[in-house]
């Protein structure tokens, strides 16, 4: 799948760091969802939060595994600087983890692997996990931000969202990577906004506006923006303009 250049992804999240926590409402709900899906009997001495962002999964993980050595890893140093919960903070790439083989008991990653080459990220996750170690990933599926695709469909031929893997692809790739007890679930989270500009600002505020090749490289004309806004307004509900997160969770064992 086509992905933005890593330098551009890092730059986007570096810029988003100051606004991320205020805008990441759905991201918090997804963390809670992923935590609720962890096996009740799971024990872990070393826990990796891979693609930790500003670290709001850390309280959940440390409450669940209070004696574990907690590692928060992210590609963007500005995000790591905002991790408030005491832990080991580590700058690194999910496709090239700066960790020894078989050094982690729980690999956790919430809404980060969609920015990666998924087979590469899964291979690295399996490499660093101990035998019997647990994998818990939340990512996004193809229906994510479908409202944006609808709004811009008649405006131009450019891409306005990332391409996302299906649940079936997650299951197949996890199995191909060597994971067992693979469990893939699908959930829908919808956030609502007062208007189209607020919706677009929220996407930018969480750093999710990098699209890779095929993106628009120039500003929309006022007329084109108004046309997209009109289409988006047709989707309005009593709660506001919707923005869908097609959440996929993956739990497995090495």
Q: What is the pLDDT of residues 201-231, one digit of tens each?
A: 988 887 665 544 444 455 668 888 899 999 9
Buried-exposed string 83-100: b where 16+ CB fall within 10 A, e elsewhere: bebebebbebbbbebebe
The CA distance from 169 to 116, in Å, is 14
**HSE (side-chain half, CA atoms, 13 Å) at 122:** 25
- Report the sign of the C-alpha dihedral through residues 11, 103, 82, 115, in that order: positive
- The per-residue pLDDT for 198 is 95
DSSP type of residue 209: -
Per the CB < 8 A criterion, the answer to whether 241 and 194 are in contact is: yes
- The per-residue pLDDT for 7 is 84
Helix axes 222-233, 196-205, angle to 10 degrees: 100
- The per-residue pLDDT for 206 is 79
The CA distance from 146 to 151, in Å, is 9
Residue 199 buriedness (CB in 10 A; 0-12 / 13-18 / 19+): buried
Which neighbouring-strand residues pair with 237?
Answer: 240
Mean pLDDT (whole number) for 47-58? 96
Residue 230 buriedness (CB in 10 A; 0-12 / 13-18 / 19+): exposed
- The per-residue pLDDT for 4 is 73
Mean pLDDT (whole number) for 143-170? 84
- Report the sign of the C-alpha dihedral through residues 129, 62, 208, 17, in that order: negative
Computed over every residue of the chain, the mean pLDDT equals: 91
The CA distance from 77 to 91, in Å, is 6
Chain segment 87-126, per-residue pLDDT in tens: 999 999 999 999 999 999 999 999 999 999 999 999 999 9
Helical H segments across the chain, by residue range:
6-23, 25-36, 58-64, 77-80, 118-128, 146-152, 167-176, 196-205, 222-233
């Amino acid at each position: 799948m086509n992905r933005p250049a890593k330098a551009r992804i890092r730059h986007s999240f570096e810029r988003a760091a100051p606004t991320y926590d205020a805008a990441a409402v759905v991201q918090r709900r997804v963390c809670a969802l992923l935590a609720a899906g962890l096996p009740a009997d799971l024990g872990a001495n070393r826990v990796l939060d891979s693609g930790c962002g500003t670290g709001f999964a850390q309280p959940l993980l440390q409450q669940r595994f209070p004696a574990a050595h907690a590692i928060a890893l992210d590609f963007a140093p500005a995000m790591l600087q905002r991790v408030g919960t005491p832990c080991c903070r580590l700058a690194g790439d999910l496709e090239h983890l700066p960790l020894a083989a078989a050094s982690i008991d729980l690999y956790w990653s919430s809404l980060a692997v969609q920015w990666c080459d998924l087979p590469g990220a899964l291979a690295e996750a399996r490499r660093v996990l101990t035998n019997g170690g647990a994998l818990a990933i939340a990512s996004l599926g193809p229906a994510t931000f479908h409202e944006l695709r609808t709004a811009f469909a008649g405006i131009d031929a450019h891409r306005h969202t990332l391409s996302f893997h299906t649940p079936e692809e997650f299951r197949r790739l996890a199995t191909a990577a060597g994971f067992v007890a693979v469990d893939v679930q699908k959930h829908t989270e919808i956030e609502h906004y007062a208007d189209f500009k607020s919706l677009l600002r929220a996407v930018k505020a969480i750093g999710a506006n990098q699209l890779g090749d095929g993106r628009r490289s120039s500003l929309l004309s006022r007329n084109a923006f108004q046309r997209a806004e009109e289409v988006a307004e047709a989707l309005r509900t009593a709660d506001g303009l919707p923005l869908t997160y097609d959440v996929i969770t993956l739990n497995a064992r090495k």
